[in-house]
Amino acid sequence: MGRKFFGTDGIRGRTNAGVMTAATAMRVGQAAGNYFVRGKHRHRVVIGKDTRLSGYMMESALVAGFTSVGMDVIMTGPLPTPAIALLTREMRADLGVMISASHNPYADNGIKLFGPDGFKLSDEAEAEIERLLEEPPKLAEAEGIGRARRIEDARGRYIHAVKDSVASEVRFDGLKVVVDCANGAAYQVAPSAIWELGADVVSLGVTPNGTNINDGVGSTAIEALQAKVVEEKADIGIALDGDADRLIVVDEQGRAVDGDQIMALVATRMHEKGALTGGGIVSTVMSNLGLERYLERLGLKLERAKVGDRYVLEKMKAGGFNVGGEQSGHMILLDHATTGDGTVAALRVLTSLVRSGKPASEILHLFDPVPQLLKNVRYEGGTPLENETVKSVIASAESELEGSGRLVIRPSGTEPVIRVMAEGDDKSQVESVVDRICDAVRAAT
């Protein structure tokens, strides 16, 4: 049975429509609170948010829900998603909540939940909370209603933690860094952390007004960053998304560097130091074949997971890996964070830049990606991937690419769309394969 509330990364949607309403947020607080209220201790939840206008509304509704079932609430204000994961663990909270729709426009919002260990909830835990959402909540007695407070030192705690991910002898003096915070959750902490380590920081996307998050800035709109890096003659540009769990880099020439190249750099440096565990890294089915071949030359493996940083993390924990991520920019460095952390990953890149003495364009282009093409096909109904003609076309394409490329076909988890991706050494072959499959899917709907 499909889920009504939770998707691949918590609950997300357009504010004041569908599941993303104040009423739903209050019920989520009650259901999640009922799920985590165990034992006789005072139960505690940490709530953070990004800079969306609707964050105030959703925060208030969640506070009402949690306190009504007996949980005390700690509010941090705008902070990155990984900061909430960190504070949940450090403050011995039972639960952490991040109010954010990540890289989506400001009109959307979302709710992400973290367990007491700072990791995102399992599918099983989310399913149980979803079940509780359909039942009347177990409200606390009047004397047991929770209290709410706002803490003022949350930003400082997080800045200290991310700086601790850098070796004490490393300083960024002499580096000029453009930092684009997407007018989002990291607008204060990311530039501060990088500046405190000695860099000359030029900031973009640090004037949130409630409606400009991800608007022409951030990791999904890097043109402004590219122009600023060239204009300022900076050494590197750093782009985060709205909740700062994602990182895209721009080298000194203004060229974009995606998550695959960042993972290649991090894995190489850690492998050289003997600090890489698991014998390689974890990424998703979308990572470029060029990354896999590069790692193989180093004697390392690329373990692939389903799309979504939570599935990357599951494979990391199961296989003992400490580095994982996604082509889109999620970077999970388990030695320092329990979820994707764009700021921590950025500091790792800057550290490599300082230690190498080489330009970003050299250290961040470690392999040549093979041609890769992704197309989305919208359908009106039915199950086109079960159509016999579609199956036949896919089988033929897989046979054609065998040994020289890959084919990934998956339905979207949030909309009636089939995503068709192919990659291989021959660009024209890749384009032909994708077009044939897309045509077959369209004909079957």
Which residues have a catalytic role annotated?
Answer: 102
Q: Please give the span between the terminal C-alpha atoms of the chain, in angstroms, as a whole number.
A: 22
Q: How many CB atoms lie within 10 A of CB 128?
A: 16
Q: Evaluate whether 244 touches 265 at the Cβ level (below 8 Å).
A: no
Cβ partners under 8 Å of residue 429, min gap 6: 400, 401, 404, 405
Cβ partners under 8 Å of residue 245, min gap 6: 80, 81, 82, 102, 309, 330, 339, 340, 341, 342
Place of tokens 């003659």: 233
Q: How many CB atoms lie within 10 A of CB 178?
A: 26
Q: What type of residue is 80?
A: P
Residue 119 DSSP label: S
3-state secondary structure 167-219: CCCCCCCCCEEEEECCCCCCCCHHHHHHHHCCCEEEEECCCCCCCCCCCCCCC
Place of tokens 């009402």: 64
Nearest to 94 by CA among 111, 112, 116: 116
